[in-house]
């Protein structure tokens, strides 16, 4: 008798839970995802690969403040829209590095042109995208 009662209670509780799970699911996504997908498709059509080579980048910010790192990246993109800016996080610091320079001389030339807008700039060897 107890087994039958337990079975009925289990059955009705399962049915009530199944009907209680109705609702509407709304999926939202960041619009930047579409931009990234479009850029990747564009690179694929051009036959460019994601391969990287040895080169140099200029570091314009290093610190633990995430908002300040993104603000510096945005400020740089506003001043130099043709140059790529990259943010990396190596605990506990965010680093903003710019450019994809193949030679140190190219990096130095650009570094001197941006010194008036960014106070602390340094050149670092890095893996860069061939463009």
pTM of the predicted protein model: 0.60
Answer yes or no: is 108 within a domain: yes
Across 5-9, 78-82, 107-111, 112-116, least confident range = 5-9
The residue count of the chain comes to 131
Q: Residue 5 falls within a domain, yes or no?
A: no
Nearest to residue 67, comparing CAs of 58, 59, 75? Answer: 75
**Is 98 inside any structural domain?**
yes
**Can you tell me the distance from the alpha carbon of 63 to that of 109, in angstroms, rounded to the nearest whole number?**
25
On whether residue 121 sits in a domain, the answer given is yes
Percent of the chain exceeding pLDDT 70 equals 77
The answer to whether residue 65 is domain-embedded is yes
User: For position 108, what pLDDT does the model report?
Assistant: 94
- Kindly state the greatest CA–CA separation across the chain: 89
**Residue 19 in domain:** no
- Residue 99 corresponds to which tokens in the numbers above? 């450019």
Residue 103 lies in a domain: yes
Does 37 map to a domain?
no
Q: And the tokens for 17?
A: 């839970």
Residue 22 contacts residue 93 (beta carbons within 8 Å): no
Question: Is residue 12 scored above 90 in pLDDT?
Answer: no
**Residue 45 reports pLDDT greater than 80:** no
Nearest-10 Cα torsion for 79, 37, 29, 71: -20
CATH number, domain containing residue 110: 3.30.70.1070
When the pLDDT of each residue in the chain is averaged and rounded to a whole number, the result is: 83
The domain containing residue 67 runs over which residues?
A: 52-128
Count of structural domains within the chain: 1
- The residue with greater pLDDT, 6 or 77, is 77
């Amino acid at each position: 008798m107890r087994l039958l009662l337990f079975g009925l209670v289990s059955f009705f509780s399962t049915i009530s839970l199944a009907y209680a799970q109705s609702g509407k699911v709304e999926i939202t996504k960041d619009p930047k995802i579409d931009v990234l997908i479009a850029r990747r498709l564009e690179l694929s059509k051009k036959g460019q690969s994601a391969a990287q080579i040895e080169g140099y980048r200029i570091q314009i910010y290093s610190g633990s403040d995430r908002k300040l790192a993104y603000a510096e990246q945005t400020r740089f993109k506003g001043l130099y829209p043709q140059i790529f800016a990259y943010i990396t996080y190596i605990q506990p610091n965010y680093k903003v590095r710019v450019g994809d320079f193949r030679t140190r001389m190219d990096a130095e030339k650009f570094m001197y042109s941006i010194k008036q807008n960014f106070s602390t700039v340094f050149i670092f060897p890095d893996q860069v995208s061939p463009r």
